[in-house]
Chain A
């Protein structure tokens, strides 16, 4: 297990290096630059050239890259162009925290509903409960958040106009601000997790070793929870772990529509505004998070499945 961790840790700098080069080149080759995006339709060639010079955008690409990379090595993510002079670290720091908190809350909710519903359906395959549960879950999975949000808001508005307790339609800072975004964010993955759990559990329930266990006279509860469920968890872990990594870059739609100071909007906006240092930083952070979660996934596999432990 230590070998796996070490191998991953050694490859990390190389992966991050290649990612920074690729992101940098894509940004560099995209038409336009942050100055142009900022000045909009006002043309002033002299000022434009001076600002390009001030921000070092007139340097050859390799100089720009070396500047950036050496800063990165010292933990300096650079300064944003758009939010003039603000360090990128300061800009994305608090946002990452908000996005991760929101994402984890949503993930917790979707797991704590998705898995039980999936298990329940699997154990009562083809019953009314199974059909109803799966239809509901499939619906949640299929309806995109930008459709779900107006529906929630409409219902909430009906409460508001009737003087009933209602939730804020958007915003951040108070506990009740969490409810709608967390439910909306959880909805899609909840549906997916429930269906995955059901399928995976049904697969496992057909396995010979469960029949053997049953024949040996083990109690149903033990068979289901220790033998079946543990094996059924592997595909779920495969799906969940990488998705946790994406929490750090936030969820554009939900954060934007609920006006949440996460990092989702910033990540997307930085692309259209050619805010290279921000684009680079969010990409690097995402890359590191994905690599880390892949490692966690592998370790979880080993915990869940002794066979992988041996091979590893």
Chain B
């Protein structure tokens, strides 16, 4: 009796499930035009559509599709005109005059004027906006700090000469100022809309870039459609960007035909699926403009001694770490600049793996593993970090005879400890495993901004007067690119010899893109669309 009821119940349940299955919609039914499906991994929603507030790479990917800037990057990472059709630089390198494209319009049809550009830059610096990228990347503009400190709301260094001409004055000549203007915080938003609706505009913004928002389904996806007023309007019908927290999930959706691009957000194809993906025409792989490294606290023993740092660097077999431990998902490196970034074409003599030299360096420091004292390596718990530091620990033990204690910290706690180490090095951590990724492709972003004496990111307080002199000269050198790169190269060589950082590897990003997708370039900076009007999905053969 009960069994017959149960059977009935089970049959009903099965029937219900099959009905669901049969209602399956045909996948990728496209009624009008091309719909490109490009997943945004690692988040479950965007933090904001205000370029001044975005703070992660996912956010900046979408910001870059929605808003134009004065300039942007092309497929070879050169700075090219965007909303500005041209610019001139004064002889002293301190004044940039941009001319906006004639008749360039926002997505709502209103003209993009110099006033919008200036308002956007000021908005990004305004402390009440609550963003951090503006103060970080636009600080070279005259008066930027006054705006950021809230003492004024007028950005002194930005002048609208007329509706189509913007003049930006900077405090110091800078070879990378234009590069910084390609970053999200310098994108142009509509002053009129933002002033009319100060709190609501960012959920359905008027845009200045190639796309505009059709729908933003919180927690699910954002659907973009072309902004036909953009000077290089896309021809695809829609761009659907689902937010997918987990890259395995994105991979599964890709292989079952529900995505056209996956993995572009620095959470590429899960390592276990790389072997089966490598043979596909969809597979694309590049080393990222990022370096995983060990940083040392140069203010306290034992790493205040350059020979101890050298000993620790020489004892690491990066090839084994990269190829055997991380299965070729990374590229081992002996230098600070990531492979492919401007400046990395000049060679550096790295500290290659040499256990004997490592022991000798330690002896030169007048120390033995016994007299070295306790050494702790601190790291944030994330991804493969645990595996990497365990291998580092084993290599230092085996090749140097030093036993290093590992200190895992939750990520934000790790950031807090790095902050404390910067503020009070005496009580800070000794050594840390960390990462830096390029915000814009310029050697300054890695050399000066990380290791110059006293700069905010120099958590370990590495300091070398000659290094500082070289990068100070290079940072302001405009015009002579070769000379500038050579200065950075000399500085980098010093920092490598003295182990300002112990660079380990450049992570590889492996992504999947349908072969039918045309018009995108994939490099260390991620996916770049050099010409939005050429972005298309060709019909499958």
Contacts and interface: CB of A to CB of B under 8 A. Distances in A.
B199 A39 contact: no
A173 B128 CA distance: 37
Contacts of B248: 257
A266 B220 CA distance: 13
B456 interface: yes
A62 to B, nearest CB: 22
Contacts, number: 181
A176 B413 contact: no
Contacts of B418: 41, 43
Contact of A32 (B245, B416, B422): B416
A221 B5 CA distance: 13
Nearest to B459: A43
A37 B253 contact: no
B116 interface: no
B20 A176 contact: yes
Interface residues of B, number: 68
B457 A171 contact: no
Interface string B61-86: 00000000000000000000000000
Contacts of A30: 412-413
Interface stretch (A5-13, A81-89, A240-248): A81-89
A123 B1 CA distance: 11
B13 interface: yes
Given A36-B415, A54-B127, A179-B20, A44 B252 contact: no
A157 B255 contact: yes
Contacts of B162: none
A263 to B, nearest CB: 9
B269 to A, nearest CB: 15
A21 interface: no
Contacts of B23: 175-176
B218 to A, nearest CB: 7
Interface stretch (B129-137, B166-174, B484-492, B510-518): B129-137
Interface in A232-279: 256-259, 261-262, 265-266, 269, 272-274
B21 A42 contact: no
A171 B27 CA distance: 13
A46 B44 contact: no
Contacts of A157: 252, 255-256
Nearest to A82: B47
A116 B6 contact: yes
A109 B411 CA distance: 38
A12 B415 CA distance: 38
Contact of B48 (A85, A171, A176, A265): A85
Interface string A150-171: 0001001100100001111111
B436 interface: yes
Given A36-B415, A39-B132, A259 B249 contact: yes
B24 interface: yes
Contacts of A43: 418-419, 422, 456-457, 459
A93 B315 CA distance: 53
A119 interface: yes
Nearest to B128: A54
Contacts of B24: 165-167, 176
B218 A261 contact: yes
B104 interface: no
A45 to B, nearest CB: 6
A176 B1 CA distance: 33
User: At the interface, is chain A mostly helix, strand, loop or mixed?
Assistant: helix
B246 A257 contact: yes
A258 B456 contact: no
A47 interface: yes
B9 A38 contact: no
A260 to B, nearest CB: 8
A185 to B, nearest CB: 15
B249 A258 contact: yes
Nearest to B439: A42
A136 to B, nearest CB: 13
A171 B256 CA distance: 12
B400 to A, nearest CB: 27
A259 B128 CA distance: 34
Contact of A170 (B6, B53, B252): B252
Contacts of A98: 219
B132 A266 contact: no
Contact of B412 (A37, A48, A120, A169): A37
Contact of B2 (A39, A46, A123, A262): A123
A169 B252 contact: yes
Nearest to B57: A40
A176 B21 contact: yes
Contacts of A273: 412
A50 B148 contact: yes
B532 to A, nearest CB: 27
Given A116-B6, A166-B256, A259-B244, A36 B249 contact: no
Interface in B41-59: 44-45, 47-48, 50, 53, 55
A178 interface: yes
A91 B48 CA distance: 12
Contacts of A31: 412-413, 416-417
Contacts of A44: 132, 135-136, 456
A262 B422 CA distance: 39
Given A116-B2, A120-B3, A274 B48 contact: no
A139 interface: no
Given A50-B148, A54-B130, A120-B3, A170 B249 contact: yes
Interface in A84-104: 84-85, 91, 94-95, 98
A214 interface: no
B531 to A, nearest CB: 31
A274 B50 CA distance: 21
A70 interface: no
Contact of B415 (A37, A117, A175, A176): A37
Contacts of A95: 219
Given A36-B415, A120-B3, A169 B13 contact: no
Interface in B400-428: 410-413, 415-419, 422
A174 interface: yes
A165 to B, nearest CB: 5
A37 B411 contact: yes
A91 B145 CA distance: 33
A204 interface: no
A113 interface: yes
A94 B216 CA distance: 14
Contacts of B145: 46
A261 B249 contact: no
B434 interface: yes
Contacts of B217: 261
Give 3 closest A-B pairs by Cβ, nearest first: A261-B219, A43-B456, A32-B412
17 contacts: A33-B412, A36-B412, A37-B412, A38-B55, A39-B55, A41-B434, A42-B456, A43-B456, A48-B132, A51-B130, A54-B128, A85-B202, A112-B9, A113-B9, A119-B2, A257-B246, A259-B242
Given A85-B53, A166-B256, A170-B249, 6 more contacts: A43-B456, A44-B135, A113-B10, A258-B249, A261-B217, A261-B220
Interface of A: 30-33, 35-48, 50-51, 53-55, 82-85, 91, 94-95, 98, 109, 112-113, 116-117, 119-120, 123, 153, 156-157, 160, 165-176, 178-179, 221, 256-259, 261-262, 265-266, 269, 272-274
